[in-house]
Amino acid sequence: MSDAIATHRLTKYYGSRAVVRDLDLCVPQGCVYGLLGRNGAGKSTALKMLMGMVHPDYGRVELLGEDLDRLSPATRGRIAYLAEGHSLYTNMTIAEALAFNRAFYSRWNERLVEQALDFFALFRRTRIGRLSKGERAQVSLLLALAPEPDLLVLDDPTLGLDTNVRHDFLESMVHLIQRQGRSILLSSHILADVERIADRVGVMVEGVLRVDCPTDEFKRAVRKVILEFSGVPPELPALPRLIGSVQLGSRQELVFVGFGPEQESILAALEPSRMEVLELDLEEAFIEYTRGPRRRRLALSEELTT
Amino acid sequence: MIRALVIKELKETWLLMAAAALAYGWLLCGLTGWGPAAVETPTSNMFFIWINRWGIPFVDGGFDNTFIVITGLLAITFGLLQSVRESRQATYLFLLHRPWPRWAFFLTKLAVGATIILVISSLPILIYARWAATPGNVPAPFEWSMTGPAWEIWLMMPLIYLGAFLSGLRPARWHATRLLPLAASIEAVNLRVNWGMSMAWLAPIYLLFIGAICIMARERDYS
């Protein structure tokens, strides 16, 4: 079975700056993949390149086994794309947007539309311009799901939504998208959202995919170690897999990707009065991982690409 | 699919169509002496455009000059509206992901825009000609061939529309360079109206603009 999404060295420059560089992304069939990254990391540009909205300067994309340059309308019809900001025609009513969308698809699940309208408490006659951001996101999701796509590409679907609406939106998304074999690529900078639904995560830093591994593995790999000393902490020796360190008085905080016996024994030799190894949730792991010095991240990225 | 897209385009542009109808109505009232805009003096300045109610229709009545200004503005607004609005609302990302060839979206848009401009702008010519042909309205003979120059202008107006559409579609750092296609289309009309460029050039120029729009639609980034 071919991958739902496969890219090979996808690269995009804006001026002299590489927004996305050598992106080799692989989303297996049936996988929910969370693409993480800080603002400006290149997530949206990468997704737009996947959808053919932005032309790469180099590299190629395969979607559902077809080369993007030769993507047939039938295959495109099996792919749903929710652009960032939920851009819809605000002068249309929900009914008009549904009718407009339906005209382009051979597959259309009217029962799902009815259920979703009922679930979201949306009325067909409401003009999209009058909807709240959350409701607009729901309409976008509904329009994306009605043709029963095999692949969903969602660009920061919860951006701009408040906590409650975001929660409800994700709940409904999980409820509506769960279907055997459906692949989802979801970009977000709200890590808790991704943690709940993604089987696999990728982390983009400055246009480069630094991490590509199962979600649990990423969480397991990033560890924070707190060392307490009686006085000023000693000079740190060379520590493999260290991605960041902060000294706060007599306390030294270290972040590792892949903390093991080797690092533990080196740290024990420093004779701290207390050593604590903390597990991080995805958000903490992401923050720690993406704010470390660049050379460290470069050195460690290979460790996590499995 | 085509029907859905045509309906969408019509809904988005009906206000402009209504404004154009009002402008043409104003022109016809001035030329024929109907309604509130009736001009009682031999010549009148309507928005800096001289029209002459008592001139020979289509010959020295000032119809062509006023018609070219109103229709030109309609074509420019139409072209920019259809292309820039999608960019501003970021709806190209929504529209172009529908499973249909990208060129088909743009050609349908262009067909709708050009057809609307041709249909709406044909009405004042037909109405004015019909009025001029009615005995008792003008103390001069009327031949339908007198409407020839007006029809030539009518035929060239979609070119300005295409120039405006291409300007709206084409990303450029400076507005001045972005408007180059529009300027080129206006110059092509100018060459015909004022310098007698052969009408035979019209077809290749149309093809050039349509081709440029299709290439731009395919090559540009929608970000």
How much is the average pLDDT of B75-101? 92
Q: Find all residues with CB under 8 Å of B45, minimum gap 6, and list them.
A: none
Show which of residues 110-149 on chain B sit within 8 Å of chain A, judged by CB atoms: none
Of B186 and B38, the one with more pLDDT: B186
Q: A73, B12: Cβ pair inside 8 Å?
A: no
Residue ranges, comma separated, of all CATH 3.30.70 domains in chain A are 218-304
For residue B172, give how far its alpha carbon lies from the nearest alpha carbon of chain A (Å): 14
For residue B95, the model assigns a pLDDT of: 94
Q: Does domain A5-206 have CATH number 3.50.50.60?
A: no
Q: Please report the pLDDT score of residue A180 as a whole number.
A: 63
Q: Which two tokens stand for residue B4?
A: 């859905």
User: For the complex shown, is ipTM > 0.85?
Assistant: no
- The residue among A101, A104, A106, A140 with the most chain B CBs within 10 A of its CB, best to mutate, is A104
Cβ–Cβ contact A105 with B under 8 A: yes
Chain A residues with CB-CB distance to B7 below 8 A: 100
**Closest residue in B to A49 (Cα–Cα):** B221
pLDDT: is A133 or B121 the higher one?
A: B121
pLDDT at B113 over 50: yes
Q: Given 3.30.1490, 3.30.70, 3.40.50, 3.30.420, which CATH number is that of A218-304? A: 3.30.70
- CATH code 3.40.50.300 region(s) in chain A: 5-206
Q: A48 pLDDT exceeds 90?
A: yes
Query: What is the residue extent of each domain of chain B?
Result: 2-219
pLDDT digits (tens, 9 = 90+) for A235-263: 888 888 887 788 888 888 888 877 888 88
For chain B, give the mean pLDDT: 86
Note the pLDDT of residue A297.
38
CA distances from B178 to A102, A138, B103, B164, B184 (A): 35, 36, 21, 10, 11
> What band does A294 get if pLDDT is binned at 50, 70 and 90?
very low
Sequence-distant (≥ 6) Cβ neighbours of residue B121 within 8 angstroms: B20, B24, B67, B71, B74, B154, B157
Higher pLDDT, A100 or A182: A100
Average pLDDT over residues B163-180: 88
Chain B interface mutation, best of A50, A55, A89, highest count of B Cβ atoms under 10 Å: A89
Give the DSSP H or E segment for B219.
helix B202-219
Cross-chain Cβ contact A53/B89 below 8 Å: no
pLDDT of residue B52: 63
A-B contacts at Cβ under 8 angstroms = 70
**Among B81, B82, B91, B94, the residue to mutate for chain A (most A Cβ within 10 A):** B94
Chain B residues with CB-CB distance to A92 below 8 A: 8, 11
Which residue is associated with the tokens 């702008």? B121
Those of residues 192-221 in B touching chain A at CB distance below 8 A are: 219, 221
Those of residues 63-92 in A touching chain B at CB distance below 8 A are 73-77, 79, 81, 83, 85, 87-92
What whole-number percentage of chain B has pLDDT above 90? 53
Among A4-8, A56-60, A73-77, B26-30, the minimum mean pLDDT is found in B26-30
- The shortest C-alpha distance from B146 to chain A (Å) reads 43
